[in-house]
A and B are shown apart, each in its own frame.
Chain A
Amino acid sequence: DQQVKQNSPSLSVQEGRISILNCDYTNSMFDYFLWYKKYPAEGPTFLISISSIKDKNEDGRFTVFLNKSAKHLSLHIVPSQPGDSAVYFCAASHMEYGNKLVFGAGTILRVKS
């Protein structure tokens, strides 16, 4: 049972435009959400997170939006740059899980110059 779903395996965006990556979850116990970015031959790198008490968190070009009623979150990258091309993983956690993260399958983002 996949509790965290990233339904788009890949996304292609033009440089300078907005990239929107989506993530859905089924477990209403999740109260913390994270996005990780992964380049080939490297481990995932933490990007941005959001607690369930918020609906938006911004960090530079990256913004994460959380819609709890829809059990949906999205990552917006504005403006997109070629160096953003990577696999993006959405992850969720619950306070009682400690450091255990439940990951989605990932979305490959390609930013074309």
Chain B
Amino acid sequence: KAGVTQTPRYLIKTRGQQVTLSCSPISGHRSVSWYQQTPGQGLQFLFEYFSETQRNKGNFPGRFSGRQFSNSRSEMNVSTLELGDSALYLCASSLRSGLAGAKGPETQYFGPGTRLLVL
């Protein structure tokens, strides 16, 4: 079974530009979450999508947005890029949204990430 794929793997942008990152979840998985990893910080949750609906959102400005398509593929967009947006962006897929059950979060499978450099 193919794992989570993310494209592109590397990206260089300049301040003020916008960027769109793509994530294809494991086949059959309907939940996609996005995380940002910066040096010295852990992974910080951006948002989760399930059945094309945003289920959960982290503490990021509105410049960060996302969407999910009917085939569960997800994209995240960052507008008006800032130098501080340079990071590794990871997506994770799971079968269901954790809110669907009471046993805790679903096991999430991470992709290799997209490394974004903002100059």
A residues with a Cβ closer than 8 A to B are 4, 6, 31-32, 34, 36, 41-46, 49, 51, 89, 91, 93, 95-106
Instruction: Say whether B2 faces chain A, with CB atoms less than 8 Å apart.
Output: no
B45 in contact with A43 (CB, 8 Å): no
A101 in contact with B56 (CB, 8 Å): no
B residues with a Cβ closer than 8 A to A are 4, 31, 33, 35, 40-45, 48, 55-56, 58, 90, 92, 94, 97-99, 102-113
Question: Which of B41, B98, B111 gathers most chain A CB within 10 Å?
Answer: B98
> Which residues from chain B contact A100 at a C-beta distance below 8 Å?
33, 45, 48, 56, 58, 98, 105
Additional pairs, 17, CB under 8 Å, beyond known A43-B113, A100-B48, A102-B45: A4-B42, A36-B110, A43-B109, A43-B110, A44-B43, A44-B90, A46-B108, A49-B104, A89-B43, A99-B33, A99-B56, A100-B58, A101-B105, A102-B42, A103-B42, A105-B40, A105-B41
What would be 10 A-B contacts, judged by CB atoms less than 8 Å apart? A6-B42, A46-B107, A46-B108, A98-B48, A98-B99, A100-B33, A101-B35, A101-B105, A103-B43, A105-B40
**A103 → chain B closest CB, angstroms:** 3
Q: How far is the CA of A22 from the CA of B97 in the complex (A)?
A: 28
Known: A43-B110, A43-B111, A43-B113. A97 touches B105 (CB 8 A): yes
**A93 → chain B closest CB, angstroms:** 5
A43 in contact with B92 (CB, 8 Å): yes
A51 in contact with B104 (CB, 8 Å): yes
> Which residues from chain A contact B92 at a C-beta distance below 8 Å?
43, 99
Known: A43-B92, A101-B105, A103-B44. A93 touches B98 (CB 8 A): yes
B44 in contact with A98 (CB, 8 Å): no
**A62 → chain B closest CB, angstroms:** 15
Determine which of B41, B48, B110 lies in contact with A44 in the assembled complex, contact meaning CB atoms within 8 Å: B110
Known: A44-B90, A44-B110, A93-B104. A99 touches B41 (CB 8 A): no
The 9 closest A-B pairs by CB, nearest first: A43-B110, A103-B42, A32-B104, A98-B98, A98-B99, A99-B98, A103-B43, A105-B42, A93-B105
